[in-house]
Amino acid sequence: MDTVSLVALTGVDLFAMLGAVLWYALRVGAALQVLPAVGGRGIPVRARLVITLALSAAMASVLPAPPPMGVDAATVLGVLREFSLGVAIGMMLRLAFEAGRLAGELVSVGMGLSFATMADPLSGTSSPVLSQWFYLAFALLFFIVDGHLALVNLLADSYGGVPVGAALPDVAGLLAAVPEFFGACLRAGLLLALPVMMALLAVNLAFGVLARAASQLNPIAVGLPVSLLAGLTLMMLLMRGIEAPVRRLFEDAFTAARALAG
């Protein structure tokens, strides 16, 4: 084989590999676009792009090459299918972080910190400070339990269930897992906040009784600092046992995401 033919063959292989990387990058990039901790608005765009291309190149080297596609309607539908599947996988995992945000908002009401808000990198809006605190705790636990490695494994396995260019399975059957996991997230967020909420309710009731018995006692000037101090102490105690329920929540999230990915 002469040099010209070798160079032409190498160029064809290079473009074929680049096409495979771009096909894999559609699903991976869509998942990282909505997934917190490793993606989303909290991560710079260039960092998300580098992570997406790196994961896509790694998957393209071990997974079967996508079938050749032309410039037609089938290719456009394939792109939309890959993007939709990636967003669905990322949203299922994002719901687990939303459970922490719900717990933070519920606790903020009892502690009197519902007015203390800051920019939320997850949604782009303002949220209570305790919601951000739960978000950071969930993000740290996500890496502690090797959630980032499970995410890569999930994305790689999704190509086995729904390869590039293949039709989606029964959508009605797959979406049946979404309401069930959504209810599990609401239940997890409420159960995480419930011990602190009940303790703060008892503190507020006690100061209400004291304010009624002694009218000169200002419940706002005295009760609010005590509620804040009690809430911070309870939050410190809550963090000692939060790993197990959050780990189960992440396991349920990956199970629901695998059901969506076939």
pLDDT digits (tens, 9 = 90+) for 150-179: 998 998 888 887 788 776 665 665 666 677
Number of neighbours of residue 12 by Cβ within 10 angstroms:
10
- How many whole angstroms separate alpha carbon 154 and alpha carbon 59? 12
Residues of the chain above pLDDT 90, percent: 2
Question: Is 113:134 a contact under the CB 8 Å cutoff?
Answer: no
Question: Is 150:254 a contact under the CB 8 Å cutoff?
Answer: yes
On the question of pLDDT at 2 being above 50, the answer is no
The per-residue pLDDT for 123 is 62
Structure tokens at 185: 């997230």
- Percent of residues in the chain assigned helix, strand, coil, to nearest 5: 75, 0, 20
Which pTM value belongs to this model?
0.81
- How many whole angstroms separate alpha carbon 165 and alpha carbon 90? 20
65-74, 100-109, 174-183: least confident range = 65-74
- How many whole angstroms separate alpha carbon 22 and alpha carbon 17? 9
Q: Indicate the number of domains in the chain.
A: 1
220 vs 242, residue with greater confidence: 242
The per-residue pLDDT for 129 is 80
14-18, 76-80, 146-150: least confident range = 14-18
123 vs 232, residue with greater confidence: 232
Residue numbers of the domain that contains 226: 3-260
98 vs 222, residue with greater confidence: 98
